[in-house]
Structure 1
Amino acid sequence: MKKSLLILATSLLIFSCGSTQEKSATQSKVPANPTDYANSITSDELKDMLYIYASDEFEGRETGQPGQKKAVNYLKDHYIDMGIPSAKSDGDYFQSVPLEIMETPKVDLTFDNKQFKAIDDFVSVSTAKDGNISTNEIVYAGYGIHDDAYSDYKDLNVKGKVVLIKSGEPKSADGNYLVTGTTESSKWSNFRQEYASKRDVAKDHGAAAVLFYYPEIYSMFANRFGRSSGRMSLKGNADDMYYFLINTELATAILEDIDTNNSTTTINKPFNLQYLNASNEFYSENVAAFLKGTEKPNEVIVISAHLDHEGVKDGEIYNGADDDGSGTIAILEIAEAFKTAAKNGHGPKRSILFLHVTGEEKGLLGSRYYTDMEPIIPLENTVADLNIDMIGRVDPKHEEAGDDNYLYLIGSDKLSTELHNISEDINKKYINMNFDYTYNDDNDPNRFYYRSDHYNFAKNNIPVIFYFNGTHADYHKPSDTPDKIRYDLLENRTRLIFYTAWELANRDNRIVVDKATE
């Protein structure tokens, strides 16, 4: 009898062990409580990591520099330790991002047989390919606007031609702007959007070169772009179109009454351009780790933050603890929470891509390379991007109001009403933080919606949320150090983002994009 009981007990033990192993490899049937995993995100762990990541050892993490290389290896090692594999099929956590540093191009420009000088009269504000233009025709396209309500390009053929445009936008006799129909101006005369919007429209219409008369900002851009400033861009991203800001002397030489002339016309005088660019090529890295979904592995939630900062300037290290060390280590804690859940049989239904991008401070370069040139996950499979950029501090507005239980949310309702509602509901259920949508306003003069890595996803109609604590006295200064971080707030905000990602990854239906743009 004892022998039979021993055999039975042994059999039960073996069966029990096998069941435990099977459970760890498959999805548990017991509903998961996300709070069990959110609670693993702690201020102590965040602090320990940030004091390393934003230390002097990392030399400010400037794109392409030794400190940035240390940063990407630090991130890779963390994912290896957590057992979260690379997102790439070759197993390499690094996505190489080809970059180039542009020096001032050599440009010879003449109009009506008169030589004009670079910097003094014009400045190249794009990365263009070597080439030359010789023509006897310049097309004046007025304000250079193309909009449903008003277009300077209506019945105007500029393909392969040199185009002259000016800043601003037209008004009606009653003082309303023609584009908006109100006293409020549009993006066509907004400083942060105008010169890019008008460039893109001219390029879409096939212009070979654009001469943009914008006297209010000419001096600033001449100082920024006209010298050997070491501007960084994606390699091979040189435009097929030349784009110049020009001063009043050159603008009025081409069209004397340009300030008051709003009618499109053609100037038939000789124009010659020779352009020779200069660049130094190198590589930086995005870091990409991937947790495969258990039921819908081809649908992917991206959680992103930029890994770079300003580097060393005049011998001072810009540590970038808040910008964006806070977002970077927040992702590591979120990844660890999801991995722990997966080990317990509660892996996410959808896959999650933990994406750390380079070159944000240089113009959102790493995220643009990912979305526009080499997406590791097809963009059509990407459900949403939760982008974290500065979540460890309190800005002056909320400090003065005595409100530290807040977070700025940007973009949540731009493309998906459902995403916005989910975000609100999750916050009320788990955190009850005060969401501030000030910078989500389309007329926000700071234009933060366009200034972090989420934008490269949003422009591809992928719903986004940008989490942000606002700027502060140490923004882009060497004094942005780990001791200034509010780790209690960083913990709470990181948990909020984890809860939101958990819901997006585990809900039955993929969120609907109901506000897609063309």
Structure 2
Amino acid sequence: MKRISLLLGIALLTLGCGSGKENATKSESTQASTPVNPSDYASTITSDELKDMLFTYASDDFEGRETGQPGQKKAVNYLKQHYIDMGIPAAQSNGDYFQTVPLQIMEAPKVSLTVNDKEFKAIDDYVSVLASKDGNINTNEIVFASYGIDDDKYSNYSNLNVKGKVVLIKSGEPRTEDGNYVISGTSEASKWSNFRQEYAAKRDAAKDRGAAAVLFYYPSIYDMAARRFGGSSGRMSLKGKANDMYYFLINENLAKALLSDIDTNDSVKTILASMNLIYTNASNDFTSENVAAYIKGSEKPDEYIVISAHLDHEGVKDGEVYNGADDDGSGTISIIEIAEAFKEAAKNGHGPKRSVVFLHVTGEEKGLLGSAYYTDTEPIFPLANTVANLNIDMIGRVDPKHEEAGDDNYLYLIGSDKLSTELHNISEDINKKYINMNFDYTYNDDNDPNRFYYRSDHYNFAKNNIPVIFYFNGTHADYHKPSDTPDKIRYDLLETRSKLIFYTAWELANRDNRIVVDKATE
């Protein structure tokens, strides 16, 4: 045995006498041929680190992280420093981790509105629901565009010129004689009469056609809208978003002054009526920040996997801090740990083939504003080259449904199959291979009354035909309450769920072919 050891030592010494370059080449060759086990890097995601960070991030010191407020500024600096400490560079080419998001707080504008010399009053008869430019309109005709639908299957705007005109529309959509909806051909309503989509869909249809102003008769939500938009609500929006058109919800009094049979009239016609509108904007401008870092891909650097979470929460109300530990401190801190895992892999020469973007967005609680700015106004990386978005919003708790069932090894997945069958299958396979968690698709149902698919930041990617997965643990008794605190987080679950997302991102970043988009958005 001693002789064999001696001969082996001489052989190794002889090999070691070669040049450093030869040794490096052999080392690199060995590394390249050695299969990479992502579990080696997933192991860097630990409940202890998640807990340590979240107890800071969701502490009272961060004052609930309300968009634009001092606590939110502390939050973005906290995130920035973590990426600096990990050696992960900023995503923006100028080296700035902060993507400035221009916002405005909408206060009730000053509006004077008369029709046929009769004055109508704000809140009593109408509410302005866009922050629009100062200006006035004088016209002697108003175009009634019925339901205000502009769809491939049915359009009220066919052969109708509304450019520069005032347009009157109403809620709902037409049905056939057998009671089915014209657009869907079934008993299922389309987005044109869905409560959460109709408002925006009809606004955008009129805007795309060049309307100067829209009067939207939507009696079932008018009282709610008057409460929300009628006073100094402090509602936020992206600065300049849709401010080239006036958009009003109107009540029955004003609607029937323009068209007495509006409830039953489905025709498209021009109404002869004099209207005078004077509008003065009362919004206040300010800025907030998205935080974006990334690891550049080694083989396909111009293709991107975006992992997102929102960094904001509700702030301080009536002297109580809304810490938002689960919503969405859990997602925010999860991304940092996932980023660390990718960075450790890169240090060992196993960096992702595709670029991985770590995106923390602002203003989610105010209407998905930070993600909308990224996708609709100023993408840091081209959307056409964005392979997928994995969005994390609340993954640190157990909801009542699963708690009662004694099942904490679960996660709700939303959107995984809506744009890419391949993404859904990859997600399932990765889970079975590494975690074996119970995926709950309850909220992925198109008829889900909660409409969660439209309520977090992934939707702004999905509407741009980018495949998404939304990871979610469901709501609980502390949702949007001061009691959503870090001591209630299940850090063992947060670790496991974070590892699952890391494994999925790893597969998407390193597979040979980009996933296929085989289903288009509406």
Same fold (TM over 0.5): yes
After superposition, the Cα gap between the structure-2 partners of 1:180 and 1:79, relative to the gap in structure 1 and judged at 3 Å, is: same
Alignment of 1:222-233 (within 5 A): 222-233=226-237
Which residue in 2 is equivalent to 1:428? Answer: 432
Pick closer, same or farther for the CA change 1:156–1:85 going to 2, 3 Å. same
Alpha-carbon separation, structure 2, partners of 1:495 and 1:26: 27
1:248 to 244, 249, 252: 252
Kept after mapping to 2: 8 A contact 1:25/1:343? no
Identity of aligned residues (%): 80
Distance apart, 1:16 and its partner CA: 6.8
The aligned amino acid for 2:258 is I
Cα pair 2:462 2:521 within 8 Å, conserved = no
Deviation at 1:238, TM superposition (A): 4.1
The change in CA–CA distance for 1:448 and 1:23 in structure 2 (over 3 A counts) is farther
1:292 aligns with 2:313: no
Partner of 1:511: 515
Determine which of 235, 242, 246 is the counterpart of 2:239: 235
- Report the residue type matching 2:332 in the other structure: T
Deviation at 1:153, TM superposition (A): 2.0
Aligned match for 1:192, one of 189, 196, 205: 196
Cα pair distance change 1:218/1:111, threshold 3 Å: same
Distance across 1 between alignment mates of 2:380 and 2:209: 31
Deviation at 1:180, TM superposition (A): 2.1
Unaligned runs of 5+ in 2: 1-8
1:210 to 190, 196, 214: 214
Distance 2:15 2:439 in 1: 56
Question: 2:103: which partner in 1?
Answer: 99
Structure 2 counterpart of 1:317, one-letter code: V
> Mapping of 1:357-396 within 5 angstroms?
357-396=361-400
State the alpha-carbon separation in 2 of the partners of residues 271 and 88 from structure 1.
48
CA, structure 1 residues 25+62, in 2 after alignment: closer, same or farther (shift >3 Å)? farther
- Classify 1:125/1:172 alpha carbon distance in 2 versus 1 (closer, same or farther; 3 Å): same
Write the mapping of 1:274-285 to structure 2, written as runs, cut at 5 A: 274-285=278-289
For 2:319, the equivalent position in structure 1 comes to 315
Q: Look up the SS of the partner of 1:356 in the other structure.
A: strand
Aligned mates of 2:499, 2:32 — CA distance in 1: 23
Query: d(CA) in 2 for partners of 1:341 and 1:13?
Result: 30
Is 1:52 aligned with 2:48? no
Is 2:497 aligned against 1:493?
yes
Query: 1:378 corresponds to which letter in structure 2?
Result: P
Residue 223 of structure 2 corresponds to 219
Structure 1 residue 402 corresponds to structure 2 residue 413: no
The whole-number CA distance in structure 2 between the counterparts of 1:403 and 1:497 is 20
Residue in structure 1 matching 2:441, options 422, 437, 442: 437
Amino acid at match of 2:92: K
Q: Cα 1:23–1:289, aligned 2, differ >3 Å: closer, same or farther?
A: farther
Counterpart of 2:264 (choices 251, 260, 263) is 260
Q: Check 1:507–1:288 CA distance in 2 against 1; reply closer, same or farther (3 A cut).
A: same
Residue type at the aligned position of 1:400: E
Shift in CA distance, 277/159, structure 1 to aligned 2, threshold 3 Å: same
Counterparts of 1:456-467 in structure 2 under 5 Å? 456-467=460-471
- SS of aligned partner of 1:110: strand
Query: 1:26 deviation in Å?
Result: 12
| Bigger mean CA deviation after superposition, 495-504 or 337-346 | 337-346
Q: Distance in 2 between the 1:373 and 1:423 partners?
A: 30
- Distance, in Å, in 2 between the alignment partners of 1:219 and 1:344 is 60
Contact 1:129–1:238 at 8 Å: present in 2 too?
no
Aligned to 2:184: 180
CA deviation profile, 1:162-204 (whole Å, cap 9, x unmatched): 1111112222222222222222222222111111111111112
CA distance in 1, matches of 2:78, 2:453: 29
- Answer whether contact 1:290 1:352 (CA < 8 A) is retained: yes
| 2:455 corresponds to | 451
2:108 is paired with a residue whose SS is: strand
**Native 8 Å contact 1:415 1:513 kept in 2:** yes
Q: Give the letter aligned to residue 12 of structure 1.
A: G
Q: Which moved more, 1:181-190 or 1:87-96?
A: 181-190
Change (3 A) 1:18 1:345: farther
Residues in 2 aligned to 1:322 and 1:443: alpha-carbon distance in whole angstroms = 26
Partner of 1:137, secondary structure, is strand
Q: Which residue of 1 aligns with 2:6?
A: none
Letter in 1 for 2:397: R
Matched letter for residue 172 of structure 2: G
The answer to whether 1:116 aligns with 2:120 is yes
Distance in 1 separating the partners of 2:477 and 2:295: 37
Counterpart CA distance in 1 for 2:141 and 2:380 is: 45
Mind listing any 5+ residue stretches in structure 1 that lack a counterpart? none
Q: Measure, in 1, the Cα distance between the counterparts of 2:402 and 2:343.
A: 34
1:69 to 64, 68, 73: 73
Q: How has the CA–CA distance of structure 1 residues 23 and 382 changed in structure 2, closer, same or farther, with 3 Å as cutoff?
A: farther
- Which moved further from structure 2: 366-375 or 181-190? 181-190
Deviations 1:485-516 (A, max 9, x none): 11111111100000000000111111111223
Letter in 1 for 2:382: P
Decide whether aligned partners of structure 1 residues 401 and 268 sit closer, same or farther in structure 2, where only a CA change above 3 A counts. same
| 1:340 matched to 2:354 | no
CA contact (8 A) 1:24 1:344 kept: no
Q: 2-side partners of 1:121 and 1:26: how far apart?
A: 75
Q: In 2, are the aligned partners of 1:25 and 1:345 still within 8 Å (CA)?
A: no
Question: Could you tell me which residue of structure 2 aligns to residue 302 of structure 1?
Answer: 306
Q: Tell me if structure 2 keeps the 8 A contact 1:218–1:246.
A: yes
Q: Given the superposition, is the C-alpha separation of residues 80 and 20 from structure 1 closer, same or farther in structure 2, using an over 3 Å criterion?
A: farther
Task: Give the stretch that moved more between structures: 342-351 or 398-407.
Answer: 398-407
Q: Which residue of 1 aligns with 2:46?
A: 42
**Aligned pair in 2 of structure 1 residues 133, 434: CA closer, same or farther (>3 Å)?**
same
For residues 447-467 of structure 1, the C-alpha deviation after alignment (integer angstroms, 9 at most, x for no partner) is: 211111111111111111111
Decide whether the 8 Å contact of 2:89 with 2:293 is kept in 1: yes
CA distance 1:19–1:505, shift in 2 (3 Å): farther
For residues 32 and 93 of structure 2, the distance between their equivalents in structure 1, rounded to whole angstroms, comes to 27
- In 2 relative to 1, CA 20–483 (structure 1 residues): closer, same or farther, beyond 3 Å? farther
Moved more, 62-71 or 371-380: 371-380
The 3-state SS of whatever aligns with 1:257 is: coil
Q: Aligned equivalents of 1:238 and 1:150: distance in 2?
A: 24
Please tell me the residue identity of whatever aligns with 2:361. Answer: V
Alpha-carbon offset, residue 484 of structure 1: 1.2
Partners of 1:302 and 1:16 in 2: CA distance: 39
- State the secondary structure of the residue aligned to 2:167: strand
Structure 1 partner of 2:481: 477
| Stretch deviating more after TM superposition (168-177 or 357-366) | 168-177
Distance 1:70 1:19 in 2: 48
Amino acid at match of 1:97: V
Distance in structure 2 (CA, Å) of the matches to 1:488 and 1:265: 62
- Cα distance, 1:35 vs. partner? 0.9
